[in-house]
Amino acid sequence: MSSSFAPNLLRDRVALVTGAGQGLGKAIAAALAAAGAKTIVNDVAIGPAEACVAGLRSVGGDAEASIFDVSDSEAVHAAVAGIIERHGRLDIVVNNAGIGDFVEFDLITPEKWRRMLDVHLTGAFNCSHAVFPHMKERRSGSILNISSVAGKRGDFIGNAHYTAAKAGIVGLTKSLAMHAAPHGVRVNALAPGLVATELTEGMSEAMRATTLARIPAGRLGSPEEIASVALFLVSDAASYIVGETVSVNGGSYMD
């Protein structure tokens, strides 16, 4: 576990990272823990969450697992209330939980559509909705939503359900940011390009080659490269950044 930022950047903060059992979420949890945050590792499955927690603790991190499905509003509100009760505060929420489904538009079923939006977009809403009253009362807090380059540009390989969910996150971020900022709460989003995680392992070689050809940097991003930007955005170092969706994509979309 390492961080290019000051080791005490998030000292005394409590942070929840959803979907942190693997991939990008796991890297973000590691970055926040390395910066001194008490890090709550969420996943829908207990095994990956506890493995992540064990890894963080093995290198000196302060972490615990919290198992719930972000698409379940009641479960989210109960989990967030429990975190606040145990620790007295919840300073940071990173809405990262997501699922992958590399499929062309014609193959998107209504069930696939609903599940994609339920996890990505409704999940971000549920977690933000659960924590905001607490942050509002304390007049402090940071919410970071993980969108995607697809949410800004569209996705040339299909995935309309994923793209719609990630574009919705951009809109949710802007709307909530305008509402939250007067109460001392910052809301931003991060839009990664394609990152080498478990979610991208299902890509065909042809799809991977087509994708790489559109990235000026010539490679996929690493989870740690995205996590370092996430750490910055939730920290006081980004205190005047509000309602932005920050692109980290190797040049595949420049805005």
Mean pLDDT lowest among 4-18, 115-129, 177-191: 4-18
Q: What is the model's pLDDT at position 103? A: 86
* pLDDT digits 0-9 by tens, 143-180: 999 999 999 998 766 689 999 999 999 999 999 999 99
How many CB atoms sit inside 10 A of residue 8's CB? 9
* pLDDT digits 0-9 by tens, 54-97: 999 999 999 999 999 999 999 999 999 999 999 999 999 999 99
* pLDDT digits 0-9 by tens, 210-239: 888 889 999 999 999 999 999 999 999 999
Give the mean model confidence (pLDDT) for residues 16-35: 97
What is the H or E stretch that residue 210 is in?
helix 205-213
Q: What is the model's pLDDT at position 2? A: 47
Q: What is the model's pLDDT at position 138? A: 98
Q: Which domains does the chain have, with CATH numbers?
A: 14-248 (3.40.50.720)
Q: What is the model's pLDDT at position 155? A: 73
- Does the pTM surpass 0.85? The reply is yes
Q: Which of 18, 209, 254, 251 has its CA nearest to residue 126? A: 18
User: How many angstroms separate the CA atoms of 184 and 38, rounded?
Assistant: 21
Averaged confidence pLDDT in the chain: 94
**Known catalytic residue: 162?**
yes
pLDDT band at 5 (very low <50, low <70, confident <90, very high): low
**Catalytic position from the list 135, 162, 177, 199:** 162
User: How many angstroms separate the CA atoms of 138 and 20, rounded?
Assistant: 26
Instruction: Provide the phi-psi class of 176: left if phi over 0, else alpha when psi is between -120 and 50, else beta.
Output: alpha
Torsion sign across C-alpha atoms 144, 7, 34, 79: negative
DSSP-assigned letters across all residues of 92-136: EEEE---------GGG--HHHHHHHHIIIIIHHHHHHHHHHHHHH
